[in-house]
Structure 1
């Protein structure tokens, strides 16, 4: 079954990064993938990862809303004999619907975000226009969580929305030597607990909330914290840590291009203090690695992290600090939660199962 995925860009850190996980599971699910990006990116790690998995990648190199996007996409789809187009994010939804209509092939669209902040009249009109366009030109809409589907329905969207949570590739057991080397590079002592947070360093991810919580930790707690990722807040976060006596010896900043799986393989605990989130992939990777999680109770997070696999806390520095202390001091509980997290990952979020659920949607539309 030949499926093309259309995205605005393949820059690392975007919602489209899950395509690499899907590509890793596609063959076993009987899917042949193509990936088309409307814009080009100078950071080609994701492009290279897809190509290593045998997925043809085309970057059109177009500006946003370029009128050439739809005809050029249609030409690619026709030349590659694509049977169905799967789009991601609004720009790709618009272009993909126009291109697929020319070829009379079905379109599937995945919702990646929840926009529940107050909107002015202009934004509400744009949102309504997108919903109407999706209902008219998209054969099936996929929500990645129950919370997201209910949000979308609350906007007046149709009821024909199927829930298919994202998945990630199973990394397998961590290499003990790699784990030891990574912890040594981070200057984590043998008796210290290593907690990691992997998230784009932007305001909605709650890094400043985490630093507030870390400053509230008791002296002498055997905990080191590694922050991985990049974004506009990184310089400010680094400056704050450098000037805080409570943070400078506890917090490490990981290289911007550090592979998340390597860092998770060295960790004992994963932190997620975001203020919003439809379905953070980091949580799935943490569960795949068999790690317990401390996460804020926002968005779709409670559909991923349960009481059996981690600790959910309200937005606030002190609740986050209390949960971190409790898990740092209780190794048996960390192991119990991590084992349950790994089992839940294999049952619900492993990439091959995700790919097979998507294939069922494609088969239904193609008859």
Structure 2
């Protein structure tokens, strides 16, 4: 199966006077698996629907394989889409559901049966071709929907939150299946979700969206370890990054009267970010009290509260006391502008004495 790059050039979408996507540009590499991630209402599904041709473009260009398609009907764009609801015909068999688009396109019966069998084999449904959707599990129905998309041999596969109707165990299994399927078929995949676990595990690249704009575009590791803003830092991670108010005071980075390290920066407030797994629970300079604890077997998720009322989550294998000390390794700290949320590039040096 071939693939194609996708170029979005100043793409815009408005509903009346409301700019849902005010102007978005990005290049999605041919053969890549790109996840569009963001909270509800950020415009991610609208963006996907414009690429698919299900939503009219207000302004800008969509190019697939170098060909402008914003005014091209969906069936002629060289793509296929997998929806959140499976949208299977209940009166048709699995084979008939998979091959329906080929039948409408008047593909010959022999070629149609061959391609249906091939697509079914890709998603391991070869033994279920004579069953109807009501006889399948949720995961099997989702695989039928995927097979129905890939049977057309598209250059681009679009997924609109396809796993949200599955339970946790099935979602985990389907993530592995989608990852394996992508490696085998090689089509350019664009996957919309609000689930950051899906994004982190499936993506080659992640587009983080906020209010119709791209907040950050990068690999999962870049998104996690080098967030460009407090929004990205607080959105990605389970538990998410702690974002608290700290201050620079006389060359020191201070949180809740505890000095984290030495810093060259103007005095004043900053937003300090630190991942829960980076906080060290020992007799550190910052004293906190235990608020809530979840014992997950392999580790504990602790919610703690500092003296000034700010709360921090940390993960640890230790069972903390009602009050305990914590410290922030200086190389694990992120700093953000408290007004704009933009990342600040500062070097924090540990205290040596």
TM-score past 0.5 threshold: no
Larger Rg: 2
TM-score by length of structure 2 reads 0.29
TM-score (norm 1): 0.28
